[in-house]
Chain A
């Protein structure tokens, strides 16, 4: 993993315009609503390290932090149209970041509880698919279909990464080389898929007919 210090984040990116630094958040927001890229870059630079640091301090994990930072920014920009200026943009973005982290931590706890609650019997060796009854075969087929649906709802590269890891049994490094993506991005993607499948398993493992 890259050594991580704060220096690089403090440098001025080539895409930000120093002439906009004097603008308030609200003025930048007006520019973004007019699709001004310089305004967008200035706001992104102003908040990226702040949000990343805030999230990382709580999660202590870069892969998880990337996931949550992306969710936070996505929520911010999806909701910009409805921001009315009743609060400061700073407060509003902080509220979104806090909600996103709290929701993620809650989801993580719930997933952990689900894993703990799985009946050990379910983890014991199962009979071959050729020897199980038609009902169980149907259930397995439905479960496989639900996993396929999940994979199809992801970006193509994310489902490819999942299959490389869990079907081809490639290492993270091998996947990085094959996809030209960072290990953090790979781990983050695997985490996202795993979370989807774990959440789905609570449904998939329910007794048939319930």
Chain B
């Protein structure tokens, strides 16, 4: 196989980040730390936040909602 034409990165990295609920082990300490992130003194770029919101909403609408096929 031509190593230069191999396409090993075509898969979406978000797939590898999904978690199986049945394998999920989260300690109360971890959840507390996650919730404490609400208080982190850091602000994301509002532009980034709104752009991501739009992108996700378009995804939701086309995959879960009225725009998706009625299969």
Contact = CB atoms under 8 A, between A and B. Distances in A.
A79 B43 contact: no
Contact of A90 (B14, B15, B31, B51): B31
Given A56-B42, A149-B7, A203-B3, A33 B64 contact: yes
A2 B45 contact: yes
Interface stretch (A35-43, A108-116, A120-128, A129-137): A35-43
B6 A203 contact: yes
Interface string A1-19: 0101111110000010000
A20 interface: no
Given A33-B64, A86-B21, A103 B53 contact: no
A6 B47 contact: no
Q: Is the interface of A mostly helix, strand, loop or mixed?
A: helix
A100 interface: yes
Contacts, number: 181
A78 B44 contact: no
Chain A contact-residue range equals 35 or more
Interface in A58-92: 62, 65-66, 69-75, 77-81, 83-87, 90-92
Contacts of A200: 9
Interface string A170-191: 0000000000011011000000
A161 interface: no
Nearest to A91: B26
B71 interface: no
A60 to B, nearest CB: 10
Interface of A: 2, 4-9, 15, 32-35, 37, 40-41, 44, 48-54, 56-57, 62, 65-66, 69-75, 77-81, 83-87, 90-92, 94-100, 103, 139, 142-143, 145-146, 149-150, 153, 181-182, 184-185, 196, 199-200, 203-204, 206, 210
Interface of B: 2-10, 12-19, 21-22, 24, 26, 30-31, 33-35, 37-49, 51-53, 55-57, 59-61, 63-68
